[in-house]
Amino acid sequence: MRRKAQALRIKSSREKGSADMRRIGMLTSGGDCQALNATMRGVAKSLYNMFDDVEIIGFEDGYKGLMYADYKIMQPSDFSGILTEGGTILGTSRQPFKLMRTPDENGLDKVESMKHTYRKLKLNCLVVLGGNGSQKTANLLSEEGLNVVSLPKTIDNDLWGTDMTFGFQSAVNIATNAIDCIHTTAASHRRVFIVEVMGHKVGWLTLHAGLAGGADIILLPEIPYDINVVCDAITKRSKAGKRFSILAVAEGAISREEASMSKKELKAKKRTEMVYPSVAYEIGARITEITGSEVRVTVPGHMQRGGEPCAYDRVLSTRLGATAAKMIADGEFGYMAAVKNNDIVKVPLSEVAGRLKTVDPNCSMIKEAKMVGICFGDE
């Protein structure tokens, strides 16, 4: 009944609307983060200002909504008051790119189904807000002939082609606050404190939060650590009269021994030998074993994705959203709105899809961090 009612509303709007009415689909995909609503608002307000006749159709729960035609016709009022609201008013879900060509449990061809929904609704463009996997699917749909414009969403800041993603700075603020809070209790005890920060494959969030929070040791996926180097750094601080040490550890941090293993060997090791909840607890246990230090672990977890977006992300989202709307107006499809040297530019989806922006172990930020005495577990 709901879909039938929606179809009738769309039919009615077409009959009332002009021949050049623009119909724009919009979805948020993958993990949630701050500023998704702010970015949708930026797109919508710009479209409403640019065109006299525009209809925005929001797909619920990401690509899943596009596959199964779960959508709602958005009103201008839907985009009011959401600049500071976290999460996403459309909902989101993870739809792994590697399974996009695999039929669902009912035999549905996911890609064909998404194309069918797009064409049935007579959309002029699909706006996708998402991270790495979402961008790959956006590129796939673009290659399949759909008009697609995307926006760079992820707290990991690991999307290739953009200097910054929305959600990243807000997550940095939360992770930094966690480290700040640990500092006050750390000053009261002779302990080692580990704060585990999100980031399975890249360490941008841990690097920025670690620097901002004054961490003594920062461990990233891109720089395999030697546990003895880590322990030496802790011992050195203790001998220098420091009452505590704080480690900012990415959840994807990896030891040199693990880095030397093949993917198959590493998976086997984690499956048979992993007895700790996460890497931070394993590192903590090794530190206690080697140095005798008392260790405490804090995992902010999904708090890093939640809450309202910071001022930086609100500004960035508004700029990105406006640029996406302009690309739609100019008929420039198959691009992602991106940040380059503080300018908002467009980058071909074909160049973004499947590429990670990782931390260069030799970048200036790492060198500068080492100059102030931060240990990365590698030397």
**Digit-coded pLDDT (tens) for 135-175:** 999 999 999 999 999 999 999 999 999 999 999 999 999 99
From the number of C-beta atoms within 10 Å of its C-beta (0-12, 13-18, 19+), residue 96 rates as exposed
Residues 31 and 147 grouped into a single domain? yes
Domain assignment present for 8: no
Residues 324 and 294 grouped into a single domain? no
Residues 23 and 146 grouped into a single domain? yes
Domain assignment present for 365: no
Q: Which positions are annotated as active-site residues?
A: 156
Distance CA 87, CA 42 (A): 15
Mean pLDDT of all residues in 47-60: 96
Higher pLDDT, 19 or 179: 179
Higher pLDDT, 318 or 8: 318
Query: In Å, what is the CA distance from 59 to each residue of 13, 22, 36, 39, 91?
Result: 18, 16, 14, 15, 9
b/e for 245-266, b at 16 or more Cβ within 10 A?
bbbbbbbbbbbeeeeeeeeeee
Domain count, the chain: 2
pLDDT score for 18: 54
Residues 26 and 158 grouped into a single domain? yes
Q: Which two tokens stand for residue 173?
A: 């603020």
Query: What residues are designated binding site for ATP?
Result: 31, 94-95, 131-134
Higher pLDDT, 263 or 290: 290
Residues 313 and 298 grouped into a single domain? no
Quick: pLDDT tens for 315-350.
999 999 999 999 999 999 999 999 999 999 999 999
Q: Domain ends where: 270, 289, 305?
A: 305
Domain range for residue 121?
Answer: 19-166+309-352
Domain assignment present for 56: yes
Residues 34 and 159 grouped into a single domain? yes
1 falls in which pLDDT band (50, 70, 90)? very low
Domain assignment present for 13: no
Quick: pLDDT tens for 190-208.
899 999 999 999 999 999 9
Given a cut of 80, whether residue 12 has pLDDT beyond it is no
Q: What angle do CA 136, 151, 315 make, to 5 degrees?
A: 155
CB atoms within 10 A of CB 134: 29
Domain assignment present for 5: no
Residues 215 and 101 grouped into a single domain? no
CATH of the domain at 187: 3.40.50.460
Residues 118 and 68 grouped into a single domain? yes
Q: Domain ends where: 239, 271, 305?
A: 305
Residues 239 and 273 grouped into a single domain? yes
Tokens 């690509």 correspond to what residue?
Answer: 63
Domain assignment present for 364: no
Given a cut of 90, whether residue 266 has pLDDT beyond it is no
CB atoms within 10 A of CB 342: 9
pLDDT score for 11: 45
Domain assignment present for 234: yes
Residues 42 and 135 grouped into a single domain? yes
Domain assignment present for 321: yes
Given a cut of 80, whether residue 21 has pLDDT beyond it is yes
pLDDT score for 186: 86
CATH of the domain at 60: 3.40.50.450
Query: What residues are designated binding site for substrate?
Result: 154-156, 191, 198-200, 251, 296, 302-305
Residues 25 and 162 grouped into a single domain? yes
Residues 314 and 256 grouped into a single domain? no
Cα–Cα nearest to 140, from 128, 152, 158: 128
